Amino acid sequence: MNTDDDFPDIPGYLPIKEAAKRLGISCPRMYSYVREKRIAARKAGRTLMIPLEAIEQFKLNPPGRARTTVPEWRVFNMRSKLLGMNIQVQVYPGQQERLIEKLYAIQAGNRHVFPGTLARYVFKDNEAFTSASIWLIWKDTEMPDALTRQQAFLTFQEELADVLDWESAFICMKEGIIYT
C-alpha cells in the first residue's frame, strides 16, 4: 500500500497529512474539511494533495462557540460582593517575550491559582507592552484571609521578579457594581 511518502514532490502541493500538520489540525479533521469543500484537494494516485495556496488562504474557525446574543448587564447577588485586585506593573525593558514564556509556563503547570478566585487575567497595557495589568477576582464569601492572599501573591511576585518591576507596581482593591 502506498503512503504519502511514496509520492514524489509535486510543486505547489502538499500531501494531506503534511498539510494538516502545517495547519496544526488532525488528519481526520483535514479530511472532513476536504469533504465539506472548505479546502481544495486533488488526487495524486490514492493520495489527496492540497494546493499550497489553499493552505495559505485557509482560515480555521475560532475555538469555542460564537455568541449568538450579547450578554446582559447583571448585578451580583446582594448577599455577597464581587471583589477585585487590580495590579499595574512595569515590564523590565526587553523582557516582554520572557514574561509571556513564564506566564505560559505558569498556566501549563497550573501554578499561582490564587485560592478562591473566580477569574484571573493578565493584560498587556499598551502596544509596546511596557506594562501589564493583572486582575484577580473573588466573591467575598470565598475570598481567603489577607495572610493567605499575601502569601500567594508573594510567590507569584518571586517567580516573575526578573521580568516585572514590582517596585513600580500599583495595587488596589475594588468592589464590583455590575458585570456581564
Quote the pTM value. Answer: 0.66
Query: What does the pLDDT read at residue 8?
Result: 54
The parent domain of residue 164 ranges over 74-179
174 and 95 in one domain?
yes
44 and 98 in one domain?
no
C-alpha grid cell for residue 142?
A: 470565598
Strand-pairing partners, residue 160, are: none
Query: What does the pLDDT read at residue 10?
Result: 84
122 and 86 in one domain?
yes
87 and 151 in one domain?
yes
Beta strands of the chain (E only): which ranges? 13-15, 42-44, 47-51, 74-75, 82-91, 117-124, 131-139, 164-175, 178-179
Residue 148 sits at φ, ψ, to 5 deg, of: -60, -45
At 39 the three-state DSSP class reads coil
107 and 135 in one domain?
yes
- Helices 27-35, 16-23: inter-axial angle, 10-degree rounding: 110
pLDDT averaged per 10 residues, the chain (length 180): 56 90 90 91 87 88 81 84 95 96 95 94 94 95 93 97 97 92
101 and 29 in one domain?
no
User: How many domains is the chain partitioned into structurally?
Assistant: 2
Query: What does the pLDDT read at residue 1?
Result: 47
